[in-house]
Homo-oligomer: A and B are copies of this chain.
Amino acid sequence: ESRLPGFATHQVGVAGAVVDESSGKVLVVQDKNKTKNAWKFPGGLSDPGENIGVTAVREVLEETGVRSEFRSLLSVRQQHQHPGAFGMSDMYLICRLSPLSFDIHFCREECERCEWLPLSELAATHHTTPITSRVARLLLHGLRVGFQHVDLTMEQLPAVYSGMFYQLYHRPLPQH
């Protein structure tokens, strides 16, 4: 809550893990020009002023054609001197989304493949990135014991100064 003037040091990227709880499957893509044969979650950079949940839903729709809605924040990665960020730092947030549609119409300019893959398969395969594998294991755990064990839920709160809101993510508090 520092109000000291600062400057932007981070780009923000968001991935959306769309989990279909009824089938235990998750929506994954393989990039066309980047990490070959590696399943990952669709995602991309936030537009200026865009909330992370909005970025996740938008990127999933653009890349895969699947409509979804925000559920929770799952993981945060901080990386410095990011190759894609001109030496700046990168904050990468992975969100859990629920599907609102299932038909895949993926963007052939961005993606080579796009599938609903069983979470158990994504958690076990070597054809993925370390971070995707880790989040797949986290989601598989959530699928088994309940997502409330892995989720950070979001709440919108009014800022101290008038008319502004912020989004706060943390573990759910017990109701009492």
Contacts and interface: CB of A to CB of B under 8 A. Distances in A.
Interface of A: 1-13, 15, 34-35, 40, 43-46, 48-49, 51-52, 73-81, 83-86, 88-89, 91-93, 129-132, 134-135, 137-138, 141, 149-150, 152, 157-161, 164, 166-171, 173-174
B150 A171 contact: yes
A131 B173 CA distance: 13
Nearest to A41: B1
Contact of A10 (B12, B75, B81, B149): B12
A39 to B, nearest CB: 11
A43 B74 contact: no
Contacts of A164: 79, 81
A154 B113 CA distance: 31
A138 B170 contact: yes
